[in-house]
Amino acid sequence: MSSVTVSAAPSTRIQEVVSPLGITAWLVEDYTVPLVSMDFAFIGGSARDPDDKAGLSYLTSGLFDEGAGPYDAQAFQEKLDDSAIELGFNSGRDRFEGSLRTLVANLDTAFAMLALALNEPRFDEDAIQRVKAQISAGLKRAETDPDSVVWRALNRRAYAGHPYGRPDKGTLSTLPGITRADIVAAHKARLSRSALRIAAVGAISASDLAKALDRAFGGLPAGVGTDSITDTVMQGAGERLLSTLNVPQSTVAMGRPGLPRHDPDFMAANIANHILGGGSFTSRLWQEVREKRGLAYSVWSQMSTARHAAAFYVGTATSNERVGESISIITAEIEKMAAKGPTVHELKRAQQYLIGAYALRFDTSRKIASHLVEIQIENLGIDYIANRNNLMAAVTEADAKRAARRLLGDGKLLISVAGQPLGYTAS
């Protein structure tokens, strides 16, 4: 076992636990309360769905707690409720993920139920139809939801011809065609120990966790087909999209290619983004768009590091009459940041905030487990938490200016608007 002190919480340590079957997990022991939280993820999500079966991964994830082994859906949920066990599953573009939260007194039951869900899901036809109906209802609502519409349109253009251009949850045309046989095949093909990343936090020892890991995950195949999705780059910078909706306020989404997570300038770009639009009340976009002009209630920017594409996004919502003005202000600030970068004062203030706020990711066991899984997926290393703030503090003004230029480039963005904006037209 190897370990490293967690700088954000000096009293805890991350241990690398390897089970007898070779299943690896990161553990933070904490006996403050008799609880255990565990997050896990399998690499490979909705991007692996066939085009005509979009939504397969998401549908499958919704069925793992709808009956397993000897328990039908109702009995399975009653068994969880009787022991106050929280068990959930989800699927995104690049991963299938789950979480478990339980009292120490019910650890054996919790891991036994998780093992059933992962290894013996029933996929009963009535459960499949029920979950399909729930997803379909959400997809119908999304057709008139400006936020859903605007991002769906942006992704469709940005990643045309690539799985990232499809909605994670599928569509009303693809969902009905997904069969039980498709679901069973997806389960067998996508869940394996080699694709697994795990983190546990709470009142459990390394030896007990090792045994529990084999019980829950040991029945899965050692390895299955690898993720064959190709890397891509966001397209359409400089284009303008319009999805007409009868709403009084338009939603605006913008994007351009970003920097990969392991790029040497990533940390500096993260700081530049915080100054531009990631810092809420203190950011340039917040000050120029909301505080000075009252154009929007919220405006933000963020960096995204999906497994096969890095991107930079901006989002806001404003009255139909002021869409053009809002876009002009946002793009002007982006161009200014790309050309000149942040000031020394902005840099120091951002570093101080981002270093201090990092500890907030460790104030609950759930947050810690989730963050540790994310670090594993990003291949940042078990010592990342100990080193992260030093990396943040080491960014210089020259680093931040260079990273801002690389992140924002010529300032051109793919712009998507959903609503009835006045004076805005698609290109």
The pLDDT value given to residue 280: 75
Rounded CA separation 57/300 (Å): 29
Mean pLDDT confidence for 371-397: 96
Give 183-211 pLDDT, tens digit per residue: 999 999 999 999 999 999 999 999 999 99
Phi, psi of 241 (to 5 degrees): -110, 150
Task: Please report which confidence band the pLDDT of residue 2 belongs to, taking 50, 70 and 90 as the band edges.
Answer: very low
Question: What percent of the chain stands above pLDDT 90?
Answer: 94
Rounded CA separation 396/182 (Å): 52
Rounded CA separation 291/336 (Å): 18
The pLDDT value given to residue 9: 41
Going by their DSSP bridges, the two strands 67-68 and 196-202 should be labelled as unpaired
Question: What percent of the chain stands above pLDDT 70?
Answer: 96
Q: What is the mean pLDDT of the chain?
A: 95
- The conformation of residue 283, written as its DSSP 8-state character, comes to S
- The conformation of residue 121, written as its DSSP 8-state character, comes to B
Mean pLDDT confidence for 262-281: 95
Report in angstroms the alpha-carbon separations of 163 from 94, 98, 126, 331.
Answer: 10, 22, 29, 28
Tokens of 299: 């405006």
Phi, psi of 282 (to 5 degrees): -105, -10
Report in angstroms the alpha-carbon separations of 412 from 160, 298, 333, 403.
Answer: 18, 22, 12, 16
Give 231-265 pLDDT, tens digit per residue: 999 999 999 999 999 999 999 999 999 999 999 99
Question: Which is nearest to 218 in space by CA: 416, 21, 32, 8?
Answer: 21
Phi, psi of 345 (to 5 degrees): -60, -45
Q: Mind listing the domains of the chain with CATH numbers?
A: 3-217 (3.30.830.10), 240-419 (3.30.830.10)
Task: Please report which confidence band the pLDDT of residue 3 belongs to, taking 50, 70 and 90 as the band edges.
Answer: very low
Amino acid at 253: A
Give 327-353 pLDDT, tens digit per residue: 999 999 999 999 999 999 999 999 999
